[in-house]
Structure 1
């Protein structure tokens, strides 16, 4: 096969040639270094043109995303409204129960119970250390008292 011109490689890259000719071009690339370098040059040219068309594709994709995001924003707004309604409903239920409990005197009896528990726990309770110290001083006082009595008896 003769060398393939640059225009032939450009049409090959654009996928505008028949399948049998593609296979022939590919087989020729394996054996010809000159055509390989021409093919690489054509590929670089094609890559440059792809980058230019990528900008167009990017703007089209942005437009599509904006159109898709509009329904998503509406759905998010609906979810937010439902959430606010749910929060308001829970708040009203809690406020209603609070009013019922206040009217029933539950909080009053609860405060009386807490006061009685506090007054019972306020009783003086000695710690273990205080008890040991008191016993030690009593023991020392009894020893001292016995010593004084022993000296008087002698």
Structure 2
């Protein structure tokens, strides 16, 4: 098969080639990665010049009909309507609830009971800081029982 350059691929995209050459290039696109890369480069170069379909839904329907040979029926369920978010589904609501619970626990002294006071933990000469945290957590859990 013939090796095509970038100008040949531009002509292919614009549809200015003969039918036989177009078929040969389509076959090459299916077989060669290098040809596909050249084709994509040509598409990038022509991006601003290519026309946009006016009605994307009608264009899609025509393409599907050409591919499958039958018209595509759309039901009202196919169209997705944006849904307004309820106030309690908003992330700020969840952050506010979490902050409120944290504040209530903080002022009630739950965290002080857990740690036994921060100065007491730092002043302990024996054992590591982690061991003392673990011991305080176990004592707090035992107090809950």
Give your verdict on TM over 0.5. Answer: no
Normalised by the length of structure 1, the TM-score is 0.32
Normalised by the length of structure 2, the TM-score is 0.33
Q: Which has the larger radius of gyration?
A: 1
Q: Higher relative contact order by CA 8 Å / sep ≥ 6: 1 or 2?
A: 1
Larger helix percent:
1
